Amino acid sequence: MRKSFKQVFALILLSCLITLSPLSFAQNKILTVEDAVTRGHGRLSPQKLSQLNWIPGTNVYYFVSRKDEKEILFREDALKKTKAEAVVSIEELNRQLNALKSPNDNMPRFPIVEWENDHFFRFRNGDSVYSFNTAENKLALRNSLSSKNPELAQNEEFSPEKGYAAFTKDNNLFISMGSVSPIQVTFDTDPAIVNGQAVHRNEFGITKGIFWSPKGSYVAFYRMDQTMVTDYPLVDIKEHPAKLTNIKYPMAGMKSHEVTIGIYNIASGKTIFLETGEPKDQYLTNVTWSPDEKNIYVAHLNRDQNFMQMVKYDALTGKKLKTLFEEKDSKYVEPLNGPIFIKNSNRFLWLSRRDGWNHLYLYDTEGSLIKQLTKGEWEITDFNGFDLENKNALITSTQDGVLERHVYKVNLETGKSKKLTEARGTHEIRLNSSGQYMLDNFSSTNTPSVFEVLDAEGKAVKEILRAPNPLKDYKLGEMRLFSIKAESGEDLYCRMILPADFDSTKKYPVLVYVYGGPHSQLVTDSWLGGANLWLNYMAEKGYIVFTLDNRGTSNRGMKFEQQTFRHLGTVEIEDQLTGIKYLKSLPYTDQNRIGVFGWSFGGFMATSLMTRASDVFKVGVAGGPVIDWSYYEIMYGERYMDTPESNPAGYKESSLLNYVGNLKGKLLLIHGTVDPTVVCQNSLLFVQKAVSLGIPLDYFPYPGHEHGVVGNDSIHLYEKISSYFNDNLKNCSTEISAMK
């Protein structure tokens, strides 16, 4: 290495972030795998207020909670000292459903509700949408999503004013405007053509495929033609004999799907399509309506993902009116949010990383840049809304350090900002309709969760809930957050969890938990430091559990993120080994017993470390791993690797099939057999190569599971992983060199 050990690993101890966890004192209960996996999202997670949000147009918030073992919807005025008022229980909703002779089953849990105003909320049950009048305590059928097609309606979206419902069935779009039969908007019979659903495999900030105009006069929707995309086979073993199901899976360098955008006019009943033009394999994202419904804005991104155009269209004719602005980057551009219109104004805000950090830019609706509003070596992570008079924008950012999240208000004229949240840690807010009050969900390494109402200046108005420590009776170890220096000079943030009965005179096995890919940050100043409870379970069992966010991860600016471009897995390994060198400098780590576990990109990283740093890691578990990026999908894969044709050296360097022969330790690969995200061909090719080379390897498939193992099977999964490390790492001191 170019730098001395002392220079590279000079530990920057963050005085307020090296946390002696309150979980480490005078507790006696021991976690089980079931505690860590299922109860870690239930009774052992900090108490929350389910569905906590504002009722539109009010200072009243609502939430679902349990009282006397019953789920009840509550609401509470933020400005009054009165207690929360019960609105209706799940039992009462089911009673009224039965009275309406609803064809749908009773609801076992309180449904997700959407408030239309102070007196009405709606919810879906089965293929029907119901409206509940809180003033009259009365339930009514609002929309029927039933049609001659018996398939269950999906992807429903409601118009903001009229309450109409748009939804999909059998890949076609329907609209329900009442209890009468829905209107069918599209009539595609080829299953490879999909309407009204998310496209481009949910990249570029895309989460849905239906976009109501502000007043409910129009519905814009995606139409995705996948007829040119190669079929990929998935096998359902529950059938007798097994049944083949083909999905469309465009792999890097192969033919991509083609997307267009339709607009259905409610009044005329006619559909037009935007004239989005060529090339057809472009990406269309950030679909946004103008407040007056006259225009629709779409970000066009080329397949190379290095050139973006923001285009304004006429919503009536579909004609292109103007390209408002362009963004280019030598590596990639990734638009994630559409224009944010300022009320009663001809201006909008645009979030962009064009200067290397995610910031706000102020534009007029003709595409003229007025000014860059925010600037600095920090990132906006959330846009929260505007204040009462639309003079300030509220944002969540990393201005106070990458581990924290705080809320600021930014003046739209001057760009000056003011910090609104003070408590050190992570704040997540929801602004009410007027922009006068916000619900703040706060946590830190020492604070499970606190829910408060804050005013527009960040002053606490009311405390809603201060959750008790759900782990106060459990014997967990000390957790530390700190940073070390990368070879390249950047700070790398780390989390380390020590065993509960830690003794610095002993040596402990190390478990590295890794993800390391784009759009991730595992180490945060939040409850448990961002760790899941299984990691604490493993520390409790006698491991030092370590996590490091390497270069390529998020919220550190484009330079930090893009260092992995065209060679995924190389820089990331270098940083993870920087973490290992730090760990080896500690007198209480066993250098011969270091293991690694990760899933998805983390599975790729775990396998990379086991094969490309095989003298370091003794045991690894990789779940749903990418093995060769040429077998991954176009949108994500080509953004970070380009195509296999344009970057053959990068694909060769990152392909783990080229390193199978290096494997010395024990490696367990796990994969869901019908994984549509990272297809199991990846791990099977690794197994095939290992067999051909005579390399010992363990493999465990989870039949019927997709990219994650869910439900009761997740307990089996984590018992399997825990046992694998216990058998081969914790209870085995054999050196790596002796294993092959």
Task: Please spell the DSSP secondary structure of 428-448, one letter per residue.
Answer: EEEE-TTSSEEEEEEE-SS--
Q: Write the CB contacts of 256 (distance below 8 Å, at least 6 apart in sequence).
A: 229, 250, 281, 303, 634
Residue 537 to residue 588: CA distance in whole angstroms: 19
Residues contacting residue 336 through CB under 8 Å, at least 6 positions apart: 204, 205, 286, 351
Q: Show Cβ contacts of residue 103 under 8 Å, excluding neighbours closer than 6 positions.
A: 126, 128
Active site residue 400: no
Beta strand residue intervals within 444-564, DSSP E: 450-455, 460-466, 479-485, 491-497, 508-513, 544-548
Query: What secondary structure does DSSP assign to 7-53, as a single string?
Result: HHT--B--TTTS---GGGSS--B---HHHHHTGGGTTTSPP--EEEE
143 forms beta bridges with 129
Helices within 483-532 (DSSP H only): none
Structural Rg of the chain based on CA atoms? 27
Instruction: State how far the Cα of 430 lies from the Cα of 74, in Å rounded to an integer.
Output: 17
> 21, 176, 526, 600: which one is catalytic?
600
How far apart are alpha carbons 497 and 534 in whole angstroms?
Answer: 11
Catalytic residue among 554, 675, 705, 722: 675
Q: Is the peptide bond before 233 cis (omega within 30 degrees of 0)?
A: no
Residue 393 · residue 360 · CB < 8 Å: yes
- Measured in degrees and rounded to the nearest 5, phi and psi for residue 349 equal -100, 145
Nearest to 18 by CA among 386, 438, 483: 483
Peptide bond into 241 cis (omega under 30): yes
**Given 188, 217, 707, 713, the catalytic residue:** 707
Strand 666-672 vs strand 619-623: parallel, antiparallel, or unpaired?
Answer: parallel
707 is catalytic: yes
Known active-site residue 675: yes
d(CA 126, CA 103): 8
Catalytic residue numbers read 600, 675, 707
